[in-house]
Amino acid sequence: MEMILIAIGLAMDAAAVSMAAAAAGFANDYRATFRLAFHFGLFQAIMPLIGYLLGSTMVDYISMWDHWIAFSLLAVVGGRMIYSGLRPHPEKMIIDPSKGWTLITLSIATSIDALAAGLSFSMLNVSIWLPCLLIGLITLALSVVSTRIGKVADQWLGARVEILGGIILFGIGLRILVSHIG
C-alpha cells in the first residue's frame, strides 16, 4: 500500500500536465492522450531504475542540481504556453505539449522526482522492479483520467486555459525548486 501511495504522489505532476494539455485544447483525441500517458508512464517507470542504478555514489551531486533542472524545463515550457495563450489569435496556439521535444521535455521534467525515489530505493536495498512497474502504470492511468478532466475544462474555459496551463507548469517547477531549497 505504501508503494501505491508513493506512485500516486510521483504521478501528480504528470497528471497536472496532462490535465493542462487537454484543457488548453491539446490531447483531446485518443492519439494525443495515448502519447501523453505513454510517455509520462514510461519516463516515470524508467527514472527510478536509472536512480537505482546510479545508487548512493552520485546522490550528492544529483541532489544539488535535480530541482534546478526540473524548474528550468517546466519554466521554459510553461512560459512558451503562456506566451502562446497571450497571442492575439489564441486559436493558433503554437505549442502542443503532446508532441515532439516538448513532450520529451515535460516527460523528463515531471519524472525527476522518480529519479530521486530510485536513489532512495537503492539506499534502502529495495527491489526496484515492482516500484518501477507501479509508478509507470499509475502515472499512465492518472494521465488518461486527467486528460479527460482537462477536456471538460477546455469546453468551459476556452482558449485562455493555455495561459492557466502554462502557469500550472511554472508553478509545479517553482514548487519543486522551493521544496529543495527551503
Q: How many domains does the chain have?
A: 1
| 40 has pLDDT over 90 | yes
Give the 3-state secondary structure of residue 146: helix
Cα–Cα distance for residue pair 91/143, rounded to 1 Å: 24
**CA end-to-end span of the chain:** 29
The range of the structural domain enclosing residue 145 comes to 2-181
- Surface-to-core class of residue 99, CB atoms within 10 Å of its CB (0-12 exposed, 13-18 middle, 19+ buried): middle
Q: pLDDT by residue (tens digit) across 143-173?
A: 999 999 888 877 776 656 667 777 877 887 7
| 90 has pLDDT over 50 | no
